[in-house]
Each structure stands twice: as structure tokens, then as C-alpha cells.
């Protein structure tokens, strides 16, 4: 096996650059590789997220409250029938 350089991009935009054996990253970043593959951009701010709704926590609250209101509306209509 050849040595590789960690390709992880840090928050400041620089590359990690640590020497490692794994092509996915060094001892600090190899587990982040799997998590980062699953992330999709938020529908509003484009911040990476793994949320099922496709929105980051900041923007998902409006959808949770909308779902809550629709459930309550369904309960009221079922009670009146």
C-alpha cells in the first residue's frame, strides 16, 4: 500500500494534508468521509445536511410546525364528522 495524503477540506478551506494509509483520509478524518457523502444541501441556504426533510435545523422548523397544524386540522375535521 502506498502512502496517501488526507484529502479532507477543513472549515477554513485548506486541505488537511496529513500522511495516511487510507485513501478516504487520515486518523482524524476517515470517519467523516462516510458522513459527508450522505449530506445534501439545504433547500433554502444550501448548507450541507443529513436531514430527511432536506432542510437544515434552522429551516426545518417551519415544516415541522406546518405538519403539526395539518395534523391538528385533521383531528378537528374527524371529530366534527
- The pLDDT score that the predictor gives to residue 26 is 82
Tens of pLDDT, residues 24-51: 778 787 776 666 667 788 888 988 887 8
How, if at all, do strands 4-5 and 48-49 pair? unpaired
Tell me the pLDDT of the chain averaged across its residues. Answer: 79
Give this prediction's pTM: 0.40
3-state DSSP of 4-73:
EECCCECCCCCECCCEECCCCCCCCCHHHHHHHHHCEECCCCCCEECCCCCCCHHHHHHHHHHHHHHHHH
How, if at all, do strands 19-20 and 4-5 pair? antiparallel
Amino acid at each position: 500500500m502506498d502512502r496517501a495524503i488526507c484529502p479532507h477540506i477543513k472549515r477554513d478551506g485548506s486541505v488537511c494534508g496529513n500522511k495516511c494509509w487510507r485513501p478516504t483520509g487520515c486518523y482524524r478524518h476517515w470517519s467523516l468521509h462516510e458522513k459527508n457523502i450522505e449530506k445534501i444541501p439545504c433547500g433554502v441556504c444550501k448548507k450541507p445536511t443529513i436531514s430527511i426533510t432536506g432542510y437544515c435545523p434552522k429551516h426545518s422548523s417551519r415544516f415541522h410546525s406546518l405538519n403539526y397544524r395539518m395534523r391538528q386540522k385533521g383531528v378537528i375535521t374527524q371529530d366534527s364528522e
